[in-house]
Amino acid sequence: MSYLIKPPGYNALLNLSQTELGIKKIKDFFQQNLSSELRLRRVTAPLFVLKGMGINDDLNGVERAVTFPIKDLNDSKAEIVHSLAKWKRLTLADYGIEKGYGIYTDMNAIRSDEELGNLHSLYVDQWDWERTMEDGERNIDFLKEIVHRIYAAMVRTEYMVYEMFPTIKPVLPQHLFFIHAEDLLQKYPTFTPKEREDAITKEHGAVFIIGIGCKLSNGERHDGRAPDYDDWSTSTPDGNMGLNGDLLVWDNVLNRSLELSSMGIRVDKEALLRQLAISNTEDKKELFFHKRLLNGELPQSIGGGIGQSRLCMFYLRKAHIGEIQASIWPEDMRKEAMAAGMYLI
């Protein structure tokens, strides 16, 4: 069900023209910084892929992909992508990207099963990126180094927005706080995962939660993650599981945490087999992507996605993602949003 958060006294700081200008500047500036920080080159990405090849992102395994038949391929089915988590790794191999370098792209997706609200839309736009790893980088320290680099680009971008629109004061802390999902559970044992995210992010301003997808001591996952891209089941030296995570910031407009990015070191052969077994999806071993990985044809990599509209929403202090992007919304939500000062494009 759709749900609208209506911040009391909300008043957009920028008009429509300023907002559109801000979106353009933010996207140009951030992607240039991201490319420089991680040594990424831009590539062109697909809007759809063939069904049944294991290339599309399964998300939590229950979301339905938008499908359509292709007349010139005997009505073979294509799927609108959910994300490009696995496609990017295939591209690293096919382009022969050297270790320590990578790719990024503008990913546009349709997720028809999203629960619509301030943060979720049918339309998803993000920077999807993937970088080939050096030998010996399959560890938590390397994950943190990459996260630090991405966060540095976020901090610089916020200052650029402040120079452009002085009424928007910077709020991001200079240092990002790291915590494992299990340690977060121990800190707030009676909270739901979302309540735990809000509590820790409000305390620190910006947080990276490690270990998304592995079962915690209470037998539950902090959040779901597909078994065939991020490595969430590898044991780390501190006794926790997982080489992935989510980056969240505190949103003063909505008074809640806002996830801007998820990323992780990708599965190797051992992690893929282990996670397919854990999730009872071992039949995927026969799919195109999975066969190439199991045959050693794909490089070891780290990658993730960064929400473009969410990033702009945060920087421009908007209360609804529909103030940033054009999408379809329930008519009652559109009317309620307008009454609450949110003009949905």
Residue 1 has pLDDT above 60, yes or no: no
Under DSSP, is residue 201 helix (H, G, I), strand (E, B) or coil?
helix
Which pLDDT score is estimated for 114?
A: 85
34-54 mean pLDDT: 92
Q: Which strands, in side-by-side order, build the sheet including 256-265?
A: 40-42, 102-110, 123-132, 301-307, 256-265, 244-251, 206-210, 177-180
| Residue 55 pLDDT | 81
Classify residue 323 by its DSSP letter: G
Spans of all domains in the chain: 16-339
- pLDDT value, residue 227: 93
35 has pLDDT over 80: yes
Can you tell me the distance from the alpha carbon of 116 to that of 196, in angstroms, rounded to the nearest whole number?
A: 22
Is the pLDDT assigned to residue 58 strictly greater than 90? no
Average pLDDT in the 195-215 region?
97
The residues with which 49 forms a beta bridge, in sequence order, are 79
pLDDT band at 328 (very low <50, low <70, confident <90, very high): very high
Predicted TM-score of the model (pTM): 0.94
Predicted local confidence at residue 111, as pLDDT? 85
Predicted pLDDT at 66: 85
- 3-state secondary structure (DSSP) of residue 104: strand
Mean pLDDT computed over 323-340: 94
- Residue 106, φ and ψ in degrees, nearest 5: -85, 115
pLDDT in tens, 108-129: 988 888 889 999 999 999 999 9
% of residues, the chain, pLDDT over 90: 87
Residue 237 confidence (pLDDT) above 90: no
What SS3 state is found at 168?
coil
pLDDT of residue 61: 62
Question: Is the alpha carbon torsion for 120, 122, 125, 128 positive or negative?
Answer: positive
Q: Which residues pair with 256 in a beta bridge?
A: 251
pLDDT tens, position by position, 225-235? 999 999 999 99
Report the catalytic residues: 57, 111, 126, 246, 259, 262
Q: For the structural domain made of 16-339, what CATH number should be given?
A: 3.30.930.10
The mean of the pLDDT values for the chain is 94
Confidence of residue 82 (pLDDT cuts 50, 70, 90): confident
- With cut-offs at 50, 70 and 90, classify the pLDDT of residue 60: low
Per residue in 2-17, pLDDT (tens digit) is 689 999 999 999 999 9
Confidence of residue 59 (pLDDT cuts 50, 70, 90): low
**Cα–Cα distance between 37 and 58 in angstroms, integer?**
29
> What SS3 class is residue 340?
coil
